[in-house]
Structure 1
Amino acid sequence: MWISLIKKLPWRGILLAILINAFLFGVYWMGYSSGHDSAKRDGDAAFSQLQSQFDTYRREQAELENAALRAWAKRYQEQVAAGHQAEADYLEQVAQLENQNQQLKEKIDDVTQRWIDEKGKSHPIECVFTRGFVRQYNAALGYANASVDSGHAGDTTTAVPGAGTASGPFEAADAWLRNSGVSQQDVLANIIDNARQCRLWRSQINGLLDEREGLEK
């Protein structure tokens, strides 16, 4: 009975269906495998390209940062060297001014003791500086109330002693026209000292301006 039923089955149709399904599965599998491999290959290539671009960008960025750092370090070294040179130049100028100041003071007596007229005759110098003259002189330097006996120690400019304030209500009205006791030597020495200080200030200002110009370049 079972054998007869088995013999009656449509074996050809079944085999054909099996073959068709096997063929379709094979085609599907081949397409899937090929697509997967192709997609994996394309993905790996794209990833490799992106990785290469990123590595190139990172290397270029590092080179730019290193170049900027080297430029900054060079600029800093140049500024430090310029500062040291400016300091050395200033100290040299100070030393020169001190030397010139000393030489000028050593020649004060040579130009304040005697004078020669048109006939070549030598005469002693008799120059009187009134107390009013000295007061005006000191006032121009900022020492309107300079004492008679001393200047202001520690100030940047030097006052000429000898022209203080009036000593009292009984002082004569012409007191400022009296001899202050200040000589030509005193005035010239004072001018030399104050000129030295002015030249020092000028040197400092010029040095600061040069340093600022160097920083702005």
Structure 2
Amino acid sequence: MAMLEGLLKWLFGKWQVLAVILYVAALLAHGHAQWNGGYNQAKAEGDQALAELKLKHAEQALQVTAESQQQLLQQVIRANQAEDLLLSTFDRHAEEVQLLKERIPNVTTIYRPTPGAAAQPIPHCVFTAGWLRDYNAALGVPAASSTTATSASAKAASAAPSTDAELLESGVTPADILAHAQDYGRWARDNLAQLNSLLDLQKD
């Protein structure tokens, strides 16, 4: 009988230990499951937040790109319009100069001494070599050297000051001067129109 009681006590003790082990194992399993669940939830939330952030950045980049393209398109349109206007201005200047050139023979060959008088040939007008030289100098045209002066007008324009050569006739006529003024005026007006076009583009 005593032996049976000892056996029962021993078995009871073993079951207590086993129960404790099972309880601890259950706690560990429960804790591990909770940790896994929390980790998975946190990871899912983090992945979602990262995906939303990436989407937001992508949308912002797309918007910036679209705005930049729109601004570039507007600039291209404005530049094309400015170019068209400038070319139209150049064409108008050329047409005006052509009309002036067509009038050169009439206004440089005959004149009326008084209103109602008959037209007569314009008296010979002399422009000296010194006058031509100084005219070119006033426009910033360098004097032709003796080695490069081949035409009569080039030689006249290279006449040295205070010499007999500067008082010789240059061969330049009023028609030549008028034609030169028309070409120079067209060049100046074209440059001014181009400068104003560039300034207008920079203002906007």
Query: What is the TM-score normalised by the length of structure 1?
Result: 0.73
1:56 alignment partner, SS class: helix
Say which of 185, 192, 195 aligns to 1:195.
Answer: 185
Structure 1 CA distance, aligned partners of 2:14 and 2:112? 143
Structure 1 CA distance, aligned partners of 2:180 and 2:16? 125
Tell me how far 1:116 sits from its aligned partner. Answer: 5.6
Unaligned runs of 5+ in 2: none
Tell me how far 1:52 sits from its aligned partner. Answer: 0.6
Aligned positions of 1:56-135 closer than 5 A: 56-112=52-108, 113-114=110-111, 120=115, 122=117, 125-126=122-123, 127-135=125-133
Q: Summarize deviations over 1:13-67 as a string: whole Å, max 9, x none.
A: 2132123113212321221122112111111110111001110111112112222
1:144 matched to which residue of 2? 143
| Pair 97,108 (structure 1): closer, same or farther in 2 beyond 3 Å | same
Tell me how far 1:121 sits from its aligned partner. Answer: 6.2
1:163 matched to which residue of 2? 156
Tell me if structure 2 keeps the 8 A contact 1:130–1:178. yes
Tell me if structure 2 keeps the 8 A contact 1:147–1:165. no
Identity %: 28
| Pair 165,51 (structure 1): closer, same or farther in 2 beyond 3 Å | closer
Say which of 158, 169, 180 aligns to 2:170.
Answer: 180
1:49 matched to which residue of 2? 45
Structure 2 CA distance, aligned partners of 1:176 and 1:136? 10
User: What code does the residue aligned with 2:143 have?
Assistant: A
1:36 matched to which residue of 2? 32
1:169 matched to which residue of 2? none
1:14 matched to which residue of 2? 10
Tell me how far 1:134 sits from its aligned partner. Answer: 1.6
2:27 pairs with 1:24: no
Query: What is the TM-score normalised by the length of structure 2?
Result: 0.77
Unaligned runs of 5+ in 1: 152-161, 167-172
Q: Summarize deviations over 1:51-98 as a string: whole Å, max 9, x none.
A: 011101111121122222222322332333233223222221211111
Q: Larger deviation: 33-42 or 135-144?
A: 135-144
Tell me if structure 2 keeps the 8 A contact 1:147–1:163. no
Number of residue-to-residue matches in the alignment: 194
Name the one with the larger helix percent: 2
Tell me if structure 2 keeps the 8 A contact 1:147–1:164. no
1:32 alignment partner, SS class: helix
User: What code does the residue aligned with 1:43 have?
Assistant: Y
- TM-align CA RMSD: 3.1
